[in-house]
Amino acid sequence: MRMTLRNHCTSIQRILLREEHCPAERTVAEHLCRTLTPSARILVGADAPGDHRGTFRIFLRPASATAQQENLTVRVEQTGNVVMSASHPALLYAGVTLLEEEWGDRTLDEFRAGVIVHPSFRWLRNLSDFLVGSLRHARGFDREDYLRQLARSGFTHVTVNGLGTQRAFESGPPGDRYSWFYDYSPDLDQFVQSNLLHGYYPPDYLQANLLFLKETVRLALKYGLTPGLHINSPRSMPEEFWVTHGYLRGARVDHPRESFRPRYTLAMAHPVVQEHYRQLVGEIMNEVPEIGFIHLWTNDSGSGFEFVSTLYAGRNGGPYLIREWKSEEEIAKAAARNVLTYYRLLRDESAAVNPDFRLVCDLGPFMAERKHIVPELGGGIDAGEFAYFETNAAPGEVDALRRAGAETHVKIDVTDNNVLGVPFPFLVHERLTGLAGTGCRYVLAGATPLSLAPYDINAEVVRGVQLSPGTPLQQILTDAAIRWVDRSHVDTLVDIWTLSDRAVRSFPAGVPMSTFGFPWFRLWVRPFVPDIDAIPEEERRYYEDFLLATFNNPARVDLNNDMMWNFLTVDQAGQKKTTIDSSVLPALDDALAMIARALTEDRPQERTREVLSDLRDRLRASRCFSATMRNSLAWTESVHGYLNADTSTERLAFHDLCRSMVDSETANARDLLLLWKESSVIFMPVSPQGETLHIYGENFGALLERKISIMERHRNDEPRVDPDYMWRTP
């Protein structure tokens, strides 16, 4: 009789762990007992002899610092004992899910010599707003389920330092928007104290954040993931701090167009400041020694180094780094030395606790300083390519990075946080296999939580590429479809994914406010009318209170402007709008029509109906999103076209186009409102604790109703934008 691995596992009597086993080994053993080995009991070390028949042995092999690939091995010995080992603990959990879901029907003979998995990427790291930003409070999000999901998909590392409080401690003057950004990627001083900063943050605030971090780290380790921090650092200090420590003031790092109050970092060259950071690193590593890496996100959201060329307010800093009247090159060298000093401080203090620690540093903002920084990296300090380093690197910089022994961590988009669970599996596969083909082994990717999008095919593609390199995409898609729907609908489901993929890849590049900044500008709930300024301010407050724009930012009245610069020309906006009309929306309409036919004509089984209904509502939301972005482009084309027109005939044509835009967005908002009211699918992140700059709240439907009402009343207004808006006062 053909003996399968699944059948054989039912005879396993004991699961053997090492005496010094890691949390993931215990998790895998418990998972086996619940699934494949129901008769087994878990024994540790000397409690059970390793040669006893009916044993399933799990162990973590020592990692090799020089190995270019991690690996997982499953072997069935001649005695019938099963051995599963891995070089990274997360691969143990990935391995047990492979046993349960994919390998169970394979014969024992296939495992005699050992089945070895070489993942495509040595580091597959997740950076998600669900773990380090505002989306951690999203309705339906399950933190442990998310970490379990990452390990199943073959992720090895995860960034975990979200705040344990509702929002960051900092605030600003009324109308200031900058403080919202402190909610994301908090620095070390939001969890622990140093002598210098003692008393500036309430102890209950720090304790809540530290306990939340510790619990997330515990859950990450439970599934074998290496936890790390994604921090904006150096970080600006509380305003009260400068009253007594003004002499330590470093660079101004806030963005003047978003801030009413300047924010400053510490003077990083000062010995007292360096000791402050040593204490912070030492304290957090003492509290959470399992932290394996820090990703330093440079020069954004309250972070920045003194005198670097890309500080929002221009080169500036404290009195300790460089004298006045120096050349650009001398300033760049001094700024680079200061950056490297901080890098090395973080690495050295962390590595003293965890020898495997790595620091990942974004180099994109250092336009003038990179040539001095890159050759000095390596030795545990890597470069984080955050969608700009490789493309902006000067000749020879990438080679210099490799010569220094530093890895490049490359970010890739495989998810969309604006509409959750939108399928684009072909594009995800192309991006991942393309990276693997270049020899890239350190990858940063997102993951949509399955607790919010349970049938996410993009996640299955990530898992397939990572854990089964070389598996044809069609097989990955078909296998997932077979698990989710009845056989008669497998091809239909794959065809729907194909149409959705076509829509996503057809969406034009460079559409303003369409990516991570989409919630900031409240496009789903703000009215698209010919003259936004004609709406009384009291009626606009419902969305302007959460809009990323100060009172004098023209972004409040111009969808094509953000303070002092425009995004697109009239022709560019029209071309991108036409692309959405001709390629994006038709593909989504075809996909929705295919789902409608399958639900009404084919009479699918219950599980198939659930999957198709879930996908239908996500694609309905995706269509609403695409239509909103289309209409934002149409707003620019029509309003600015009207303002730039030379003749009355041209103005009339653009005015008609503007009314059509209002009608289109009004109908689109009604579609979105209907979806919001009738669907139970979580198609977008929603906070039950109230909206913020980064996320909508449970009042989303009421806001859509306001938008529709205002657009109906202002449809026929004359197009207008105040050219002097930025000079307004409160």
Check residue 631 and give its pLDDT: 98
CATH 3.40.30.10 is right for the domain spanning 5-117? no
φ, ψ at 231 (rounded to 5°): -125, 145
Check residue 362 and give its pLDDT: 87
Q: Are 221 and 227 in contact (CB under 8 A)?
A: yes
φ, ψ at 443 (rounded to 5°): -130, 140
Cβ neighbours of residue 257 under 8 Å, at least 6 residues apart?
A: 550, 553, 562, 563, 564
Check residue 302 and give its pLDDT: 46
Point out which residues pair with 303 in neighbouring strands.
235
Check residue 300 and give its pLDDT: 57
**Cα-based distances in Å from 727 to 149, 177, 314, 447, 723:** 50, 18, 22, 43, 9
What's the angle, vertex CA 416, arms to CA 415 and CA 421, rounded to 5?
Answer: 75
Check residue 301 and give its pLDDT: 43
Check residue 181 and give its pLDDT: 84
CA neighbor of 299 nearest in space, from 346, 260, 250: 250
CA neighbor of 8 nearest in space, from 56, 66, 47: 56
The tokens for 582 are 């001709």
Count of CB atoms situated within 10 Å of the CB of 399: 11
Report the C-alpha gap between 224 and 137 in whole angstroms: 24
| Mean pLDDT per 10-residue interval, the chain, length 730 residues | 88 94 97 95 73 87 66 94 95 97 94 94 94 93 98 98 92 82 91 94 97 98 98 89 95 85 93 97 98 85 77 90 90 95 97 96 85 93 65 67 86 91 98 94 95 98 97 97 96 98 97 92 97 97 93 94 88 98 98 96 90 98 98 98 97 98 98 98 95 94 98 98 92
SS3 category, 234: coil
Check residue 49 and give its pLDDT: 54
User: Domains of the chain: which residue ranges?
Assistant: 5-117, 160-412, 499-727
Count of CB atoms situated within 10 Å of the CB of 214: 17
Check residue 387 and give its pLDDT: 42
Check residue 64 and give its pLDDT: 57
Buried b (16+ CB within 10 A) or exposed e, 99-112: bbeebbeeeeeebe
φ, ψ at 195 (rounded to 5°): -60, -40
Cβ neighbours of residue 238 under 8 Å, at least 6 residues apart?
A: 169, 170, 200, 201
SS3 category, 638: helix
